[in-house]
Structure 1
Amino acid sequence: MRILHCLSTREFAGTERHLAELSAIQARTHDVTLLLDRNTVDPLTGGDISGFLCPEVKVVRAGVAGYLPALASELRSGRHDIVHTHLGRASARASWLRRAGLAGSVPVVATLHTSYRGRSYGAHDGLVCIASWQQEALPEKQRDASALIPNWTVPPASTCEARAALRERMRREWRIPDGGVVIGAAGRMVEEKNFGLLIQAWKQAELKPGTRLVMVGDGPERGALQQAAQGRPDIIFTGYRTDMPDLLAAFDAFIVPSRHEPFGLVLLEAMEAGLPVCATAAGGVKDILADAPDCLVAPDSLEALTEGLRRLESAAPRQWDMSRYRIGAAASRVEAFYRRYC
């Protein structure tokens, strides 16, 4: 099958990682092309999907005229059996071209990485939802042309000995005292991630000496968050990192304070690492922790988040059933979804 993925972003976050991993496994048995913007580097963090793509995936970049004409050219080229768009910018342009009769006859599907918007996805043949709340919110016609295929996580490739060495190295870098408990949080530092409330809850929880909160990520709110944490050496900011598995090895627990989380990939990664977790019952998180309601707290609640931190301080490692979240099974389901249309 000849597959064209379309993405128009300048960052490297959950969606970009999802696409890099999906295209890599598809390229083992299919002809896979990825249409990107001319520049894909995040000006704030330096993150870039380009460094995470496997060599077998062909990359086409939009020219100086922009993404829309490049996408129109690919849609009409006859070189693809299926077109798969990701996120709003690429998806809205594909929908516009189809409505204008400028997209040729190739079938077009999308993955909903966030919320459904008719302008972006209303002209697509089919939609992949990564969480049940998305599928429930679809117009009836498009719900019938959708599939629920959750995101995935990849098991750590390192041995137990290697992970132990990583743990020691990272904790030494952060100057964690002997026996100190490290609770991690990660994500783009924007309002919906609610890291400001997490800092308030951390102060209110008054955990035992030696316990540390390590916050991984960057974004427009980082300066304000660091200001809120001023004078608190027990709150550590790592900045933007691409070595999340290494960091997870150094954590003892993980917390997700988001107001809304379309899926919750970072939560899934923490569970893969065997960490006890606490997360707000928001968006896709409710699917992931459906069998562990004790790990959920009310969204946007200072008291609930404070109690969650207190529970995590003494929580033991936890082995989660991750069989539902394997990339091989997900890729097979995506391929079966494609075959509805081509």
Structure 2
Amino acid sequence: MTSRLRILHCLSTREFAGTERHLAELSAIQARSHDVTLLLERRTTDARTGGDIQGFLCPDVKIVRAGRAGYLPALATELRSGRHDIVHTHLGRASARASWLRRAGLAGSVPVVATLHTSYRGRSYGTHDGLVCIASWQRDVLPERQREACALIPNWTVPPQSTAACRAALRERMRLEWRIPEGGVVIGTAGRMVEEKNFQLLIKAWKQAGLRPETRLVLVGDGPERCALQKAAQGRADILFTGYRTDMPDLLAAFDAFVVPSRHEPFGLVLLEAMEAGLPVCATAAGGVKDILADAPECLLPSDCLEALTAGLRRLETAAPRQWDMSRYRIATAASSVEAFYRRYC
């Protein structure tokens, strides 16, 4: 029988986005077979959106919060405690602190690995024993030593748990709420409203595309760019902003197609969710999107190209639903690969 591992996950954020959801789902499936602890900041609620990883965590995952002294002392205590067989850090802040403690000789002897949810930085990940890359572009730019000690394990998507009837009811309800005209096509996009998501270019392309009057663009999310984006939309009835939502990916039932205009997308989880929902998609060839759509190059667009994005929107307006092969992107497969990666070191 395979031995039970004592796993410590480390995350130092105050929001709930793709990485936080990734960790909530991974820790939940690991907790079925292993002892899982999650070290978090003292407060994890996003002041702008109210999103918080706390509400998405499995009860079987033990939560440790940083105290008044901050995250670094709490992390140092956990690393030296002898209570963990493997430490798994996520994102730069937690990873950089673990690296600093190791360089200072204050981390004990427990092996430390990380998932690269974004770009590699030596300051954050240079002392780690191993790295999980979620997309091939990350692996390709690693220093040689780190490349030899990495594993490529893509993110996953979870099939809808609701019935077809429930999804149909949700679709009808949301389209009534958004006042979608009868027979109207809804092209959706979602993400944190920041510059790299390139929603400004999407709005320009939408205005230029000349789509049917009943076709709608729905932008799901919030962030510092939202006011500027709403100003760029000029109050047009065919461009809708839903704000931050906690019901993605169920909300995808209300869409007919999906677009990802990002300048950079470390992985592209929301794209994967749209494909799981059977939506036709188009996305800029940025980061992990190139891996996801490697077998569908006709769905890829050059990055930051107004003309290509405009043409992509026109294609989506008339595109039929599409059944994608999602077998590579199942959480059980990923969790098994992560466990095998851990056992290299413990």
TM over 0.5: yes
Question: In the alignment, which of 330, 337, 341 is matched to residue 337 of structure 1?
Answer: 341
- Rounded Cα–Cα distance in structure 2 between residues aligned with 1:205 and 1:153: 31
Mapped pair 1:175 → 2:151: no
Partner of 2:275: 271
Mapped pair 1:158 → 2:162: yes
Instruction: Answer whether contact 1:3 1:83 (CA < 8 A) is retained.
Output: yes
Partner of 1:133: 137
Partner of 1:235: 239
**What is the DSSP-based 3-state SS (H/G/I as helix, E as strand, rest coil) of the residue aligned with 1:71?**
helix
Instruction: Answer whether contact 2:160 2:250 (CA < 8 A) is retained.
Output: no
Question: In the alignment, which of 33, 37, 43 is matched to residue 41 of structure 2?
Answer: 37
Unaligned runs of 5+ in 1: none
Partner of 2:209: 205
**What is the DSSP-based 3-state SS (H/G/I as helix, E as strand, rest coil) of the residue aligned with 1:287?**
helix
Mapped pair 1:258 → 2:258: no
Instruction: Answer whether contact 2:15 2:53 (CA < 8 A) is retained.
Output: yes
**What is the DSSP-based 3-state SS (H/G/I as helix, E as strand, rest coil) of the residue aligned with 2:328?**
helix
1:194-223 CA-to-partner distances (Å, cap 9, x unmatched) read: 000000000000101100000000000000
Partner of 1:21: 25
Aligned residues: 342
Shift in Å at residue 159 of structure 1?
1.1
Shift in Å at residue 318 of structure 1?
0.2
What is the letter of the counterpart of residue 240 of structure 2? I
Say what the alpha-carbon RMSD is for the aligned residues.
Answer: 0.4
- Rounded Cα–Cα distance in structure 2 between residues aligned with 1:11 and 1:267: 20
Shift in Å at residue 230 of structure 1?
1.6
Mapped pair 1:108 → 2:112: yes
Instruction: Answer whether contact 2:186 2:215 (CA < 8 A) is retained.
Output: yes
Give percent identity, aligned residues only. Answer: 86
What is the letter of the counterpart of residue 153 of structure 1? T
1:221-249 CA-to-partner distances (Å, cap 9, x unmatched) read: 00000000123110000000010122100
**What is the DSSP-based 3-state SS (H/G/I as helix, E as strand, rest coil) of the residue aligned with 1:95?**
helix
Mapped pair 1:328 → 2:306: no
- Rounded Cα–Cα distance in structure 2 between residues aligned with 1:137 and 1:238: 37
- Rounded Cα–Cα distance in structure 1 between residues aligned with 2:56 and 2:39: 15
**What is the DSSP-based 3-state SS (H/G/I as helix, E as strand, rest coil) of the residue aligned with 1:50?**
helix
1:127-178 CA-to-partner distances (Å, cap 9, x unmatched) read: 0000000000000000000000000000001111111111001101100011
Question: In the alignment, which of 283, 286, 303 is matched to residue 282 of structure 1?
Answer: 286
Instruction: Answer whether contact 2:12 2:41 (CA < 8 A) is retained.
Output: yes
Unaligned runs of 5+ in 2: none
Shift in Å at residue 64 of structure 1?
0.4
Partner of 2:60: 56
TM-score normalised according to structure 2 size? 0.98
TM-score normalised according to structure 1 size? 1.00
**What is the DSSP-based 3-state SS (H/G/I as helix, E as strand, rest coil) of the residue aligned with 1:324?**
coil
Mapped pair 1:294 → 2:294: no
Instruction: Answer whether contact 1:85 1:109 (CA < 8 A) is retained.
Output: yes
Partner of 1:11: 15
Instruction: Answer whether contact 1:181 1:252 (CA < 8 A) is retained.
Output: yes
- Rounded Cα–Cα distance in structure 1 between residues aligned with 2:203 and 2:77: 48
Partner of 2:199: 195
Instruction: Answer whether contact 2:49 2:244 (CA < 8 A) is retained.
Output: yes
- Rounded Cα–Cα distance in structure 2 between residues aligned with 1:236 and 1:127: 40
- Rounded Cα–Cα distance in structure 2 between residues aligned with 1:187 and 1:295: 19
- Rounded Cα–Cα distance in structure 1 between residues aligned with 2:249 and 2:342: 31
Mapped pair 1:121 → 2:125: yes
Instruction: Answer whether contact 1:167 1:246 (CA < 8 A) is retained.
Output: no
- Rounded Cα–Cα distance in structure 2 between residues aligned with 1:248 and 1:59: 31
